[in-house]
Structure 1
Amino acid sequence: MTPTEHRHLLVVDDDPDLLRLLAMRLQANGYRVSPVGTAEAALARLAVERVDLVLSDVRLPDRDGLALFEEVRRLYPALPVILLTAHGTIPDAIDATSRGVAGYLTKPYDSQDLLDNVERALHLAAPAGDTGSGTTTEAYAFEGMLSRSTRMHALFDETRLVAASDASVLIRGESGTGKEVLAHAIHAASPRASAPFVAVNCGAIPEALLESELFGHVRGAFTGAVTNRRGLFQAAHGGTLFLDEIGDMPLTLQVKLLRVLQERAVRPVGSTRSEPIDVRIVSATHRDLDSELTAGRFREDLYYRINVVNLNLPTLSERREDIPLLAEHFLREQAARYGKPLRGFAPGALEALVTASWPGNIRQLQNVVEQTCALATTPLIPLALVKRALRATPPAALSYAEAKQRFERGYLVQLLKLTEGRVADAARLAQRNRTEFYRLIQRHGLDPALFRGPASPRESADDGA
């Protein structure tokens, strides 16, 4: 195999003759080529296929090549882009390369010059340790969690470090993003893995029963307490206790939980004696706890106890490159469950999954795949079944806190795009001081560097002040 044979190029041009000619020229030199005619088609293809380089005309019917480059850089920061144009000027080339474009060629271009630019961009973009053998890892796995997303890869690396410690962890994320799965992964990768993992949803148990569930009770503590009962803290002794939706915990119980965490002992309801416990706490919430603190609905001292380390799970829409991987994983599970010879999704069906809105995140995707598998009569899941399942899955109703959080993140992204990642300018537009604005973007897991090209010394110094 030659060094180029495994390289996959996405070529974008709205002129079908030029697109065919360019594809043939690249294929003749050993590259695998996917040709498309619009920017939207290019983004759709990127969502379902691994690509090593994008080669795009500047003049496209739905947006220009620079706008496509900016979107590619936002979604896939490490993916190189080369732009081609029949209308190029030296200032255009300088502007494009200053933003991070890997190459800029003016039509008519020399074939060897094109191939040299492609090979140079691929070489510079190759990850450390990639020798051109085509064996680079496409999917990351961590304790049963799968992803192709660079953002999730970074989260997995952070989680590995956290798991090795005994620090309390707060997981933030919208409903359905996999907070309990991540909590279980932390436990499984920790020294406590052989001890129990116990999960409780603090918002699903009535307040009158939650204290007894957590701390246990003694016989006669209240009407119906006919025997002694161990609580979830005692059940998780030596292991991990996962407090899901801790933002829904009543204030009165927050005080008692804080005492348990401070004293490392629990007193069952109705008892006069405390019992020592050895439990690691992992909490999760979809609520904006900073707003809950301001409103007086969550105790600040408890917040700092549970939030020693903060992990943020992205929505499924923010990691669309994972949708084909997750859909195939769920399909294999359901094929085994139903005993059906299911092999995968038809191309149109997979594209429909990738472009759906997914307000219910991974939980909704799993539900849609299960519906299609239950009704499938052919080895490949057809588009019609996917559309039917998507229509049958009602949009998840957002809570006020979720809607506010989603709007806030979108607003911050737009500001950072508008100011090309200059935090001081973005804070000024938002009419917030820079320190507060930094806290906001950190809370939402946003990195200003992803929204700009190489920063000037003055800009870096200003943002780091």
Structure 2
Amino acid sequence: MSAHVLVVDDDRDMLRLLSMRLGAAGYRVTAVESAEAALTQLAVERPQLVVSDVQLPGKDGLALYDEIRARHPALPVILLTAHGTIPDAVEATSRGVFTYLTKPFDGKELLEKIAQALALAAPEGEAVPAQESWREAIVSRSTRMAELLAEAKLVAASDASILIRGESGTGKELLAQAIHKASVRATRPFVAVNCGAIPEALLESELFGHVKGAFTGAVANHRGLFQAADGGTLFLDEIGDMPLPLQVKLLRVLQERSVRPVGSAQAVPVDVRIISATHRDLDEAMAAGQFREDLYYRLNVVTLTLPTLAERREDIPLLANHFLARLSVKYGKRLNGFAPEALKALATASWPGNVRQLYNVVEQVCALATTPLVPLALVQRALRVPSVEVMSYAEARHRFERDYLVGLLKLTDGNVADAARLAERNRTEFYRLLQKHGLTPGLFRNDGHVAD
């Protein structure tokens, strides 16, 4: 169904021109010649957007905007202004008008602004059709995501191993779950493990299991995650953080389709589809000797790359309203949506933490909101406050570890033996940590070449 636009202008020629242009662009247009007529029309049927001239007989366009804001706070308004009323229009944008255009305006620019305003004001959208229920948890209307989901559904039908690439917070696990739901394994378990969040000493036992007495604390047999996912899908998140010794064992499991629990002499057959994910550049990791090439080609039969949130901006209003609807239930509040200028601020923010950061921002404004419509000031406050949740546990640990090593090397003037002693680690293990983070001790010696 085409969007409904209410156009207000006392110049009949301009009104006719606007109606023709918008009608040709596929919009349903209602044209009126005064603010009073516009308010009457709004009482009959609410449009998705109002385009109004500033200079009108009786109430002017700014007064009309104030009344629209009072009655329909989420309805976006675009003002058309002559040169003399530009200061008023600029001031109006600070009060929430979506944008203003000066006469004579470019027809293409007008259509672009209308499309942007409608995208921000668009409702959450229709329910996902039954045949598309596999991806109902993924909220999107962008072309970029539509293409990715079409490809994901295609590869879901096979049993090929899939590598999902994408920055932290883009939704790699959500996509993996959707692929599992679209596959023939949908009725079997989906098991997820973050390879960077589990200590190296425990990861092997978690993946492959162990038998009673295999090590101190192993008081009973333990089924690993491979066995837990038998017949279904195992999602290995942050595969790039998996230690090299474990990479060898994982490769053997994929080749032999069986696991050997720690401490056991007997292998257990498993039937598991592997989906892995990483935010790291695995090509660089292979070149640095940190990731096995043979394992890479086993895991990377098909690659799917998730776009950043900044690369799918048309999804931001949809996601923000979706999260607000969910979180308002959690916080027991009646929240109707975002003010147009608040939604505009969300849509134009940088989002280094991607969808995860957007969720955190919406949760903060939801917790603090005192009015049914979330105002711009609350969104601006949330965007200014850095949120630790934006960084995953694995990323935080990786950053701390590197900063700690850099601090030790600076303190000891690049002397590995002294640094290892301070860290209470043997020199071999310390060298391994330095290699993991690409740190060269010689650069920290006091000869003018100190690492950044």
Q: Are 1:183 and 2:179 matched, yes or no?
A: no
8 Å contact 2:324–2:363 — kept in the other structure?
A: yes
The aligned residue for residue 213 of structure 1 is 206
Match of 2:369 in 1: 376
Which residues in structure 2 correspond to 1:208-357 (within 5 Å)? 208-357=201-350
What is the deviation of 1:8? 7.0
Secondary structure of 2:163's counterpart equals strand
Output the CA distance in 2 between the equivalents of 1:263 and 1:153.
Answer: 36
Matches of 1:85 and 1:316 in 2, distance apart?
Answer: 31
1:261-309 Cα deviation digits (max 9, x unpaired): 0000000000000000011100000001111111111111100111111
The answer as to 2:18 corresponding to 1:23 is yes
Give unmatched runs, 5+ long, in structure 1. Answer: 38-47, 51-83, 87-102, 105-117, 119-135, 403-465
- Look at both structures and tell me which one has the larger radius of gyration over its CA atoms: 2
1:23 shift after superposition: 2.6
1:6 aligns with 2
Equivalent residue of 1:200, what SS? strand
Letter matched to residue 143 of structure 2? T
Which amino acid in 1 is paired with 2:177?
H
Aligned pair in 2 of structure 1 residues 264, 255: CA closer, same or farther (>3 Å)?
A: same
Contact map agreement 1:234 1:277 (CA 8 A) in 2: yes
Q: Partners of 2:387 and 2:190 in 1: how far apart?
A: 32
Residue type of the partner of 1:149? S
What is the one-letter code of the residue matched to 1:23? Answer: L
* Aligned: 1:388 with 2:394: no
Q: How many residues align?
A: 308
Give the corresponding residue for 1:155. 148
Following superposition, the deviation at residue 256 of structure 1 comes to 0.2
The answer to whether the 8 A contact 1:219-1:228 is kept is yes
Change (3 A) 1:381 1:18: farther
8 Å Cα contact 2:258-2:269 kept in structure 1? yes
CA 1:28/1:308 → structure 2, altered by over 3 Å: closer, same or farther? closer
Please report the TM-score for the alignment, with normalisation by the length of structure 2: 0.61
Counterpart position of 2:82? none
- Rounded Cα–Cα distance in structure 2 between residues aligned with 1:208 and 1:158: 37
Do 2:75 and 2:340's aligned partners in 1 also have CA atoms closer than 8 Å? no
Gaps of 5+ in 2: 30-48, 54-73, 77-103, 112-124, 399-452
Report the Cα offset of residue 6 of structure 1: 2.6
Give a deviation string over 1:109-146, Cα, whole Å, max 9, x none.
xxxxxxxxx9xxxxxxxxxxxxxxxxx98989623212
Structure 1 contact 164–190 (Cα < 8 Å) conserved: yes
Q: Distance in 2 between matches of 1:263 and 1:253?
A: 15
Give the letter aligned to residue 2 of structure 2: H
**Matched residues in 2 for 1:311 and 1:397: separation?**
22
Distance of 2:333 and 2:189 partners within structure 1: 35
- Equivalent pair of 1:168/1:309 in contact (CA under 8 Å): yes
SS at match of 1:148: coil
For 1:233, what is the secondary structure of its paired residue?
Answer: helix
Change (3 A) 1:164 1:220: same
Question: Percent identity among equivalent residues?
Answer: 66
Whether contact under 8 Å (2:360, 2:387) holds in the other structure is no
CA distance in 2, matches of 1:388, 1:273: 58
> CA offset at residue 49 of structure 1?
11
Q: Structure 2 CA distance, aligned partners of 1:217 and 1:330?
A: 41
**What residue identity is the alignment partner of 1:269?**
V
Q: What do you get for the CA RMSD once the two structures are aligned? A: 3.8
Distance 1:248 1:397 in 2: 15
The within-5 A match list for 1:428-447 is none
Residue pair 1:364, 1:393 contacting (<8 A) in 2 also: no
Distance apart, 1:24 and its partner CA: 5.1
Relative distance call for 1:184 and 1:139 in structure 2 (3 A) is closer
1:394: Cα distance to partner?
3.9
**C-alpha displacement at 1:382, in angstroms?**
1.0
Quick check: 2:166–2:307 contact (8 Å CA) kept in 1? yes
Secondary structure in 1 aligned to 2:139? strand
| Structure 1 counterpart of 2:18, one-letter code | A
Normalised by the length of structure 1, the TM-score is 0.59
